[in-house]
Amino acid sequence: MTYYAGIDVSLEMSSICIVDQAGSIVREFRVASDPQALAAALIGLGLMFGRVGLEAGPMSQWLHGGLAAAGLPVVLLETRQLRAATRAMSIKTDRTDARAIAQMVRTGWFRAVHVKSPLSQELRALLTARKLLVAKLRDIDNGIRGLLRGFGLKMGKVGERGFPARVRELVGGRRSLAMVIEPLLQVRGVLLAELEGLHRLVMTAARHDEACRRLMTVPGVGPVTALTFCSAIDDPMRFTRSRAVGPHFGLTPRRYQFGETDRTGHISKQGDGLARQALYEAANVLLTRTSRWSSLKAWGMGLARRAGMRRALSALPTSLRGIGLKPDGRGRPQARRRAAPDVARRHRVPLEQGGGRGLSAGRHGIQRPRSRRGTWQSKAATDTGPARPSPPARLARSACLTVACGGTTPTTNRSEQPRRDTQAGR
């Protein structure tokens, strides 16, 4: 007979519930939250387990690795789905949670969570530590500004390097205040030095990753965003198609449909919050800070005019989903030689190494069509008469997005000008 086990993990002790194929409880007990102790307790029963369920959490990856190494068929359960299944329980304890996990793995009504590789876990630890130091450094800066403001001392606009000198200049004539501020400046200096060290590690990791280098050719995407995205994806083969990446990071809208009611809400904000934040910030930089124009930016600005900037910032990261990874012949992740068809056809994002100019070939980095059906060539090669508006200026005009080009950003297969019928009588 096949048995199923559910484990509710706590910091010190874990509750285990074992059920049979009919759902009857066979045994319940508590074991120390350690992979060796859990594996010894389950294997020592002499039962054949079909599945062993664990709820995804801070210790789940560590416990999953130990139980899998012991030969147990362990799976990780999605947290939100498990919480929805146990919401109807009038009494919630570790024991009842273990029973619910056991019943879910028995019936198969669960969503398995991907267990990241050790390399992705180490990269995520690096990014999390860097983010922590950035937050603490910002807290100290704001704290110093607040303390000085109480004495009428205003910092004003000052750079990161000139911050300590400006503070010491303001508190120069107040000895008691300087004794309070100086320890904060010393701590700030240590945090800044360690933050620079972690950032160098991030840049080194991104420099040695081919997929990160390819993502960094997209305007607005830097080493932090690229490394965050790659560590969150981990294994691209777990996505059946590129469209699944957007919902995985919570960048697609919610939908509620019941009877005659059908509402579409804001983005779900599920999944990896760190990756979603990095992609959103990269989209914001591309649309608001990057001065160089590209077809990707033109598409985002057109969407912002039609639907608003917030929707454009949420939709633009999903357009980068095709710039993914795929394993090579030896099973190692590598960057694709070109973007997926949906991205390459709509945005023409350059993916050659050493690019990063926003568009592919061309002496000036910006190209335009030679004719309605012609190929793309540089501006210098075609201008023989008076100067014409640049492609960014033409793309920025909503009048150019006519019905002839489908109401979207002009591409090599679409004309920027309305179609002119050449046949007589039309």
pLDDT at position 201 is: 96
374 with 293, same domain? no
pLDDT averaged over 10-residue windows placed end to end, the chain, 426 residues: 93 94 93 94 93 90 92 91 84 91 91 89 95 96 94 90 93 90 95 96 93 88 93 87 85 88 88 90 90 86 91 83 47 38 38 35 36 41 46 40 37 40 41
Q: Residue 358: which region, alpha, beta or left (left: phi > 0; alpha: psi -120 to 50)?
A: left
* Burial tier of 11 (Cβ tally within 10 Å: 0-12, 13-18, 19+): exposed
Query: Cα Rg for the chain, rounded, in angstroms?
Result: 28
CA-to-CA distance for 357 and 350, rounded, in angstroms? 8
CA-to-CA distance for 36 and 30, rounded, in angstroms? 14
Strand partners, 378: 367
CA-to-CA distance for 19 and 25, rounded, in angstroms? 4
pLDDT at position 321 is: 60
Q: Give the residue from 317, 347, 377 where a domain finishes.
A: 347
Kindly compute the dihedral angle of the four CA atoms of residues 149, 155, 160, 166, in this order, to the nearest 10 degrees. Answer: -110
Is the four-CA dihedral 269, 6, 39, 73 of positive or negative sign?
Answer: negative
Q: Give the residue from 286, 321, 347 where a domain finishes.
A: 347
For the entire predicted model, the pTM comes to 0.71
336 lies in which domain range?
223-347
CA-to-CA distance for 53 and 15, rounded, in angstroms? 12
The reply to whether 203 falls in a domain is: yes
The number of distinct structural domains making up the chain is 4
195 with 235, same domain? no
- Residue 344, CA distances (Å) to 220, 290, 350 in order: 18, 21, 8
Q: What angle separates helix 118-149 from helix 175-207, to the nearest 10 degrees?
A: 160
Alpha helix ranges (H) inside 308-373: 309-315, 341-347
238 with 326, same domain? yes
For residue 112, the 8-state DSSP code is B
- 335 SS3 class: strand
337 with 398, same domain? no
Length of the chain: 426
The reply to whether 112 falls in a domain is: no
Locate tokens 């704001």: which residue? 142
The reply to whether 216 falls in a domain is: no
CA-to-CA distance for 362 and 25, rounded, in angstroms? 70
Is the four-CA dihedral 179, 183, 188, 193 of positive or negative sign?
Answer: positive
229 with 343, same domain? yes
The reply to whether 356 falls in a domain is: no
259 with 336, same domain? yes
CATH code for the domain of 50: 3.30.420.40
User: CA nearest 229: which of 204, 209, 212?
Assistant: 212
CA-to-CA distance for 378 and 207, rounded, in angstroms? 31
Q: Give the residue from 67, 82, 107 where a domain finishes.
A: 107
How many Cβ atoms are within 10 Å of 331's Cβ, its own excluded? 7
The reply to whether 354 falls in a domain is: no
Structure tokens at 98: 């273990």
103 with 122, same domain? no
CA-to-CA distance for 32 and 303, rounded, in angstroms? 54
The reply to whether 404 falls in a domain is: yes
pLDDT at position 333 is: 39
- Residue 132, CA distances (Å) to 58, 125, 202, 222 in order: 17, 10, 14, 19
Those residues whose C-beta lies under 8 Å from the C-beta of residue 413, and which sit 6 or more positions away, are none
340 with 426, same domain? no
pLDDT at position 112 is: 87
